[in-house]
């Protein structure tokens, strides 16, 4: 086992960076089935905790349970932007197709979780604020990120093939990441209806949440993260398969032309 690890591990930092995309892809692909089954189990545990274990919040009641979907969705919205940002930077540096695929697939999944964040936020806000939407700083900046995701995906889908789609999309993905700190800090910079963070506070990581609520939230964060990793791995595998089939088709067409 040690010899196989030594064989797999790069011999220099240059080799580490130039092969990072392929090694990351193959590790995720090798663990895909385990991640998938673990994600299913954790999601079942999450919903069991939400509906049968964690107590009702004394003021908000049942609408507060959306918290356990809303917060993990927002966390993965941020995480997807991070993956797009890193993959875009690496693509501009190395110009390898796999980094571009990672960025595109992460943007698709990020758009999904950004939409889920907005929808669950509106469902939660409707009974608490009396209306599903207000042009609050946190909501508006999140909606801007949703538009950035949408524009990124539409550009990749509609752009002409004769332009450097990957390079331009990478720039869009890097610039779009600027919106994430604005979203996160908006509740501190401006007066908003959106509540301040209740977890991951510097002087109080638990945010004063009861133990049952904190445990349920952490389980939800892990389960949603596993779903994100599984979906990302699956989408990257699909895109790589399509790419390889296209190359195989081109090779077969060329051989057919030579044969005739």
The pLDDT tens digits of the residues spanning 4-30 come to: 445 555 665 555 555 566 677 777 878
Q: Which two tokens stand for residue 89?
A: 């930077």
Please state the domain count of the chain. Answer: 1
Residue 231 main-chain phi, psi, to 5 deg: -65, -40
Residue closest to 177 by CA, chosen among 74, 83, 94: 83
* pLDDT band of 1, cuts 50, 70, 90: very low
Taking residues 148-152, what's their average pLDDT? 92
Q: Which two tokens stand for residue 93?
A: 């540096």
Residue 4 pLDDT: 47
* More confident position, 106 or 57: 106
34 lies in some domain: no
Q: pLDDT by residue (tens digit) across 183-236? A: 888 777 777 766 666 665 545 554 567 778 888 889 999 999 999 999 999 998
Taking CA atoms, 248 is separated from 26, 57, 241, 244, 252, in Å, by 21, 58, 10, 6, 6
52 lies in some domain: no
Residue 65 pLDDT: 82
Strand partners, 61: 57
CA–CA dist 127, 116 (Å, integer): 18
- Could you tell me the residue range of the domain that residue 100 belongs to? 64-195+208-259
Strand partners, 204: 201
CA 190 to chain centre: 26
Q: What is the mean pLDDT of the chain?
A: 81
* More confident position, 208 or 170: 170
45 lies in some domain: no
Whether residue 240 has pLDDT greater than 50:
yes
Percent of the chain with pLDDT over 90: 29
Q: Which two tokens stand for residue 41?
A: 């189990």
133 lies in some domain: yes
Give CA torsion, residues 230, 88, 18, 24, to 10 deg: -10
23 lies in some domain: no
Q: pLDDT by residue (tens digit) across 59-94? A: 777 777 888 888 899 999 999 999 999 999 989 888
48 lies in some domain: no
179 lies in some domain: yes
128 lies in some domain: yes
Taking residues 159-163, what's their average pLDDT? 68
Query: What is the enclosing helix (H) or strand (E) of 193?
Result: none
């Amino acid at each position: 086992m040690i010899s196989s690890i030594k064989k797999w591990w790069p011999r220099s930092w240059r080799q580490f960076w130039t092969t990072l995309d392929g090694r990351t892809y193959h590790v995720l692909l090798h663990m895909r089935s385990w991640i998938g089954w673990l994600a299913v189990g954790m999601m079942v545990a999450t919903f069991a905790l939400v509906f049968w274990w964690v107590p009702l919040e004394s003021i908000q009641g049942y609408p507060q349970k959306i918290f356990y979907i809303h917060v993990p969705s927002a966390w993965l919205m941020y995480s997807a932007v991070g993956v797009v940002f890193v993959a875009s930077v690496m693509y501009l540096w190395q110009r390898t197709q796999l980094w571009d695929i990672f960025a595109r697939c992460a943007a698709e999944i990020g758009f999904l979780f950004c939409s889920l964040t907005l929808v669950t936020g509106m469902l939660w806000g409707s009974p608490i604020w009396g209306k599903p939407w207000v042009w609050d700083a946190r909501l508006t900046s999140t909606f801007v990120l949703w538009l950035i995701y949408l524009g990124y995906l539409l550009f990749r889908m509609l752009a002409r093939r004769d332009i450097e789609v990957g390079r331009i999309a990478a720039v869009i993905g890097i610039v779009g990441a600027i919106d994430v700190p604005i979203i996160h800090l908006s509740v501190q910079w401006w007066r908003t209806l959106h509540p301040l963070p209740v977890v991951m506070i510097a002087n109080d990581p638990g945010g004063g949440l009861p133990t049952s609520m904190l445990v349920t939230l952490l389980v939800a964060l892990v389960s949603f993260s596993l779903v994100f990793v599984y979906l990302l791995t699956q989408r990257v595998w699909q895109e790589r398969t399509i790419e390889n089939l296209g190359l195989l088709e081109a090779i077969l067409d060329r051989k057919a032309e030579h044969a005739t």
